[in-house]
C-alpha cells in the first residue's frame, strides 16, 4: 500500500515537472509540425547555468536563467528554425546535430561524467500521506501544476491562446484568417524556453546536472507529446500524469534503466492504435 | 549493369590501394571500411526510400550482441556465432522497423527509430539484462578477428560486393518502384502496388549489410559494449559520415566514412573525443546545408568534364580514322 502511495505521489509530482519541460516542445511541435531535438539539450544548458550562477546570485539564478532561456529559445528559433520551418526533416536533422554539438561543448567546458548539484530552496523533507517527499520537489510540483493550469486557461480563454491551438489544426485556415504563424511560434518558443528553464532547476536539482542529462528528457518529451496529442495542453496534462506514474512505477518495481524502454513502448502503442493521442492531433 | 560493375571494381581498386599505402595504419583502414559498410547500408535505405532511419544501429547491435552472447556464454565457434548473429540482427531489426515504417507516418518514424536506440542502450546496461549482456562493462573477451592486410582487403571486397548488389537492386523493377514511391506514393498505390512492400525490401537488404558489418565489428573490437553497438553517438557518427560524403550516393557514404575516420585519426593526438565530435558534427552541419548531396557531388563536375573530354577525343580520333 505504501509503495502504491509512493508511486502515485511521486507520479503526480514528476508529472508536473515533466509538464513544465514538455509544454514548449509539445506546442512548438504542434504549431510547426516538426520535432525540435535541441530543446532537451537546452534543458541541460539551463541546468548548468543555474548550477554555475547559484553561488554568485543565489536562487535569483532561476529567474535569470528563465529569462535567458526565453531569449535563447527565441534566438534559436530565428536562426535555426525559421529559415527552414517548411521542411520538418531539415529541422529535425539540424536540431539533432545542434543538440549533439551543444552536448560536446558542455562536455568540454564542464567535465563529462561529473554530476553537479545545485543548492535546493527547501532542503527538508515533508511527509505526504506518510510518504517522505523532498520539499523542493513539492514546490516544483506545485509551481508546475500552476503553470500548466495557467497555460490551459490562456489557450482556452484568450485569442492568442486559441490561435496557438488553432494553427496546428489548419495552417492554411489560420493563414486565411490572418494569424501570424511566425509571431505565434516566436511567442511559444519564448514561453516554452522560460518554462524549460524553470523545469531545468527542479529536474537538474533532483537527478543532478550532467552533460548526458538531456537524453532521457527527450524520450519523456516525445512520449508525452505523442500520448497527449501535439498542440493540446489538456491532453498533455493527462499524458504527464500517465507517464509520470508509469515512470515512477517502473523505477520503483523494476529497474530505472528500463524506463526509457517502457515509455517508448507506451508512445509506440499510442502511435499505432491512437495516433491522435488522448485529445490532440495526429502528428507527422 | 556492366558499367556499374566496372565502377565498383574501380572503387575496389582504390580501396585496395588505400590498404597498400596505409599498411602502417591498418586499424584505421579497417575501422573506416567497417564504417563504410554501416554508412553505405544506412544510405541505401534512407537515401532511396525517403525515410530517415535513425535506428539503423539496431541491426548492428542486435547482430553484434547475439554473436557475442553465444560466443562468450556458450563458447560456440566463431563462424556459427557470426552466422546466427547476422540472422538474428537482420530479422530482429527488420521485424521491429518494418511494421513501424508501415504503420507510423511522417516524422514519428524517425523519432521512434531514434529513441529506440536510446531505450535499447539503457536496456542493455540495465540490471535485468546485465547477466546476459554484461551491463555497462559489456562482454569481453570474445573470439577475435585480428587486424591484418588480408582482413582489410577482405572487408574492402565485401564492401564493394555489397555496393554492387545494392546498385543492382536499385536498377531492378523494385528499385524503380521505390524511386517512384519516393516522389509520390499515391502514384504507386494507384498502379496497384504497395510502396511499403518495396521499401520493406530495401530495409531488409540494408539491415542484412548492417548486421554483417555489426557482427564483424564486435569481434574485431574484441568486446560487445553499448558504445560499439546501440550508442546514440555511434548512430549519429554513421549518419554524419553519410551526409559528409553524400547520402544519396553509395560511394559518397563510403567516401564520408573514410574522411571522418581519417579526420579523427589526425585530430586524435591534438584533442579529446568531445572536441573531435564537435568538429565532425560541425562539418556535418555545414555540409548538410551548403552541399546537401555531399562532397561526392563536388566531384561530379570534374568527372563530367573528364568523361566528356575522353568522349570528344575518341570521337575526333574516330572521325580522323574515317577520313
A128: Cβ contacts below 8 Å, ≥ 6 apart: A9, A138
Percent of chain A with pLDDT over 90: 18
CB pairs under 8 A between A and B: 113
pTM, to two decimals:
0.87
- B108 min Cα distance to partner chain A (Å): 6
pLDDT at B323 (0 to 100): 64
Compute the distance between CA of residue A89 and CA of residue A200 in angstroms, rounded to an integer. 27
Closest among B10, B210, B269, B173 to B92, alpha carbons compared: B210
Q: A99-116, pLDDT tens digit by residue?
A: 989 999 998 888 767 777
Q: How far apart are the first and last CA of chain A?
A: 41
CB contact under 8 A, B118 and A215: yes
Alpha-carbon torsion A221, A223, A225, A228, what sign? negative
- Flag residues of chain B having pLDDT under 50: none
List, in sequence order, the alpha helices (H) in chain A: 2-32, 38-57, 60-76, 88-109, 135-157, 159-169, 171-176, 181-207, 215-228, 233-253, 259-273
Nearest to B275 among A108, A263, A271 (CB): A108
pLDDT at B126 (0 to 100): 84
Q: For residue B127, which residues of chain A lie inside 8 Å, CB to CB?
A: 255, 257
pLDDT at A277 (0 to 100): 82
Q: For residue B109, which residues of chain A lie inside 8 Å, CB to CB?
A: 284
DSSP class of A77:
I
The distance of Cα A82 from the centroid of its chain, to the nearest Å, equals 21
pLDDT at A282 (0 to 100): 47
Compute the distance between CA of residue A280 and CA of residue A228 in angstroms, rounded to an integer. 6
B117: Cβ contacts below 8 Å, ≥ 6 apart: B54, B55, B57, B58, B61, B230, B231, B232, B235
Q: A78-86 long-range CB contacts below 8 Å, 24 or more apart?
A: A78/A186, A80/A38, A81/A32, A81/A34, A81/A36, A81/A185, A81/A189, A82/A182, A82/A185, A85/A32, A85/A34, A85/A185
**For residue A125, what are the β-bridge partners?**
A134
Compute the distance between CA of residue B13 and CA of residue B8 in angstroms, rounded to an integer. 9
Pair A64, A57: CB distance under 8 Å:
yes
Nearest to B111 among A215, A222, A255 (CB): A222
Alpha-carbon torsion A70, A72, A78, A83, what sign? negative
Size of chain B in residues: 323
Interface test mutation site (partner A, options B96, B111, B112, max chain A beta carbons within 10 A): B111
Q: For residue B232, which residues of chain A lie inside 8 Å, CB to CB?
A: 215
Query: What is the phi/psi pair of residue A22, to 5°?
Result: -95, -25
Compute the distance between CA of residue A134 and CA of residue A163 in angstroms, rounded to an integer. 38
Residue B249, sorted as left (phi over 0), alpha (psi -120 to 50) or beta, turns out to be beta
Largest CA distance in chain A: 56
Exposed/middle/buried for B232, CB within 10 Å: 0-12, 13-18, 19+?
A: buried
CATH architecture of the domain with residue range B2-292: Orthogonal Bundle (1.10)
Q: For residue B278, which residues of chain A lie inside 8 Å, CB to CB?
A: 101, 104-105, 108
Burial B87-116 (b: 16+ CB within 10 A, else e): ebbbbbbbebbbebbeebebbbbbbbbbbb
Mean pLDDT of A25-43: 83
Q: B107-121, pLDDT tens digit by residue?
A: 788 888 888 888 888
Q: Which chain A residues in 193-212 lie under 8 Å from chain B, judged by CB atoms?
A: none
Minimum CA–CA partner of A259 in chain B: B119
Minimum CA–CA partner of A33 in chain B: B107
In this structure, the dihedral spanned by the alpha carbons of residues B145, B151, B152 and B155, taken in order and rounded to 10 degrees, is -90
Cα B213-A268-A25 angle, rounded to 5 deg: 100
Compute the distance between CA of residue A95 and CA of residue A49 in angstroms, rounded to an integer. 21
The distance of Cα A112 from the centroid of its chain, to the nearest Å, equals 23
Exposed/middle/buried for A23, CB within 10 Å: 0-12, 13-18, 19+?
A: buried
Compute the distance between CA of residue B48 and CA of residue B203 in angstroms, rounded to an integer. 10
Size of chain A in residues: 284
CB contact under 8 A, A264 and B100: no
Question: Would you place residue A127 in the very low, low, confident or very high pLDDT band (cuts 50, 70, 90)?
Answer: confident
pLDDT at A171 over 90: no
Q: For residue A268, which residues of chain B lie inside 8 Å, CB to CB?
A: 100, 112
Helix, coil or strand: residue A171: helix
pLDDT at A284 over 60: no
- A109 min Cα distance to partner chain B (Å): 10
Query: What is the phi/psi pair of residue B51, to 5°?
Result: -95, 135
Q: A232-281, pLDDT tens digit by residue?
A: 788 888 999 999 999 999 988 888 888 888 888 888 888 888 878 886 55
Burial A240-251 (b: 16+ CB within 10 A, else e): bbbbbbbbbbbb
Q: How far apart are the first and last CA of chain B?
A: 34
CB contact under 8 A, A112 and B125: no
Residue A130, sorted as left (phi over 0), alpha (psi -120 to 50) or beta, turns out to be left
Compute the distance between CA of residue A225 and CA of residue A221 in angstroms, rounded to an integer. 6
Amino acid at each position: 500500500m505504501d509503495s502504491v502511495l509512493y508511486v502515485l505521489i511521486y507520479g503526480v509530482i514528476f508529472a508536473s515537472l515533466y509538464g513544465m519541460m514538455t509544454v514548449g516542445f509539445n506546442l512548438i511541435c504542434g504549431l510547426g509540425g516538426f520535432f525540435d531535438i535541441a530543446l532537451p539539450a537546452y534543458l541541460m544548458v539551463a541546468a548548468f547555468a543555474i548550477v554555475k550562477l547559484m553561488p554568485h546570485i543565489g536562487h535569483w539564478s532561476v529567474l535569470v536563467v528563465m529569462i535567458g532561456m526565453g531569449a535563447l529559445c527565441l534566438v534559436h528559433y530565428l536562426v535555426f528554425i525559421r529559415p527552414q520551418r517548411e521542411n520538418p526533416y531539415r529541422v529535425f536533422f539540424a536540431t539533432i546535430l545542434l543538440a549533439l554539438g551543444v552536448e560536446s561543448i558542455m562536455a568540454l567546458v564542464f567535465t563529462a561524467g561529473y554530476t553537479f548539484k545545485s543548492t535546493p530552496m527547501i532542503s527538508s523533507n515533508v511527509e505526504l500521506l506518510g510518504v517522505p517527499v523532498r520539499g523542493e520537489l513539492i514546490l516544483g510540483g506545485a509551481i508546475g501544476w500552476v503553470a500548466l493550469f495557467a497555460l490551459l486557461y490562456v489557450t482556452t480563454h484568450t485569442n492568442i491562446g486559441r490561435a496557438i491551438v488553432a494553427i496546428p489544426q489548419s495552417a492554411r485556415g489560420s493563414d486565411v484568417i490572418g494569424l501570424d504563424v511566425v509571431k505565434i511560434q516566436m511567442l511559444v518558443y519564448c514561453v516554452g524556453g522560460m518554462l524549460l528553464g524553470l523545469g531545468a532547476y527542479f529536474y537538474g536539482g533532483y537527478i543532478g546536472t550532467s552533460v548526458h542529462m538531456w537524453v532521457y528528457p527527450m524520450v519523456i518529451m516525445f512520449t508525452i507529446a505523442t500520448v497527449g496529442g501535439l498542440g493540446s495542453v489538456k491532453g498533455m496534462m493527462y499524458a504527464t500524469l500517465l507517464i509520470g506514474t508509469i515512470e515512477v512505477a517502473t523505477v520503483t518495481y523494476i529497474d530505472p534503466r528500463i524506463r526509457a524502454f517502457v515509455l517508448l513502448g507506451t508512445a509506440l502503442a499510442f502511435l499505432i492504435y491512437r495516433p491522435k493521442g488522448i485529445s490532440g492531433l495526429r502528428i507527422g | 549493369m556492366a558499367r556499374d560493375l566496372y565502377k565498383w571494381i574501380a572503387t575496389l581498386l582504390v580501396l585496395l590501394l588505400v590498404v597498400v599505402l596505409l599498411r602502417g595504419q591498418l586499424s584505421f583502414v579497417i575501422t573506416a571500411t567497417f564504417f563504410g559498410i554501416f554508412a553505405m547500408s544506412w544510405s541505401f535505405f534512407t537515401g532511396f526510400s525517403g525515410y530517415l532511419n535513425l535506428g539503423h544501429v539496431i541491426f548492428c547491435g542486435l547482430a553484434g550482441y547475439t554473436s557475442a552472447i553465444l560466443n562468450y556464454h556458450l563458447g560456440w565457434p566463431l563462424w556459427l556465432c557470426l552466422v546466427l548473429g547476422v540472422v538474428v540482427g537482420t530479422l530482429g531489426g527488420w521485424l521491429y522497423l518494418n511494421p513501424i515504417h508501415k504503420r507510423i507516418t511522417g516524422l514519428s518514424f524517425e523519432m521512434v527509430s531514434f529513441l529506440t536506440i536510446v531505450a535499447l542502450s539503457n536496456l542493455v546496461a540495465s540490471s535485468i539484462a546485465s547477466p546476459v549482456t554484461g551491463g555497462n562493462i559489456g562482454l569481453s573477451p570474445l573470439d577475435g578477428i585480428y587486424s591484418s592486410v588480408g582482413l582489410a582487403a577482405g572487408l574492402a571486397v565485401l564492401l564493394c560486393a555489397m555496393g554492387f548488389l545494392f546498385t543492382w537492386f536499385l536498377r531492378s523493377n523494385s528499385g524503380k518502384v521505390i524511386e517512384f514511391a519516393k516522389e509520390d506514393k499515391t502514384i504507386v498505390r494507384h498502379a496497384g502496388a504497395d510502396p511499403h512492400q518495396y521499401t520493406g525490401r530495401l530495409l531488409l537488404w540494408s539491415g542484412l549489410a548492417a548486421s554483417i558489418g555489426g557482427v564483424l565489428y564486435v569481434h574485431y573490437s574484441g568486446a560487445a559494449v553499448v558504445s560499439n553497438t546501440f550508442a546514440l553517438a555511434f548512430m549519429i557518427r554513421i549518419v554524419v559520415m553519410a551526409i559528409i560524403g553524400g547520402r544519396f550516393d553509395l560511394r559518397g557514404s563510403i567516401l564520408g566514412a573514410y574522411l571522418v575516420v581519417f579526420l579523427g585519426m589526425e585530430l586524435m593526438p591534438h584533442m579529446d573525443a568531445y572536441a573531435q565530435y564537435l568538429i565532425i558534427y560541425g562539418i556535418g552541419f555545414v555540409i548538410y546545408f551548403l552541399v546537401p548531396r555531399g562532397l561526392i557531388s563536388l566531384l561530379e563536375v570534374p568527372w563530367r568534364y573528364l568523361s566528356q573530354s575522353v568522349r570528344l577525343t575518341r570521337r575526333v580520333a574516330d572521325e580522323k580514322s574515317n577520313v
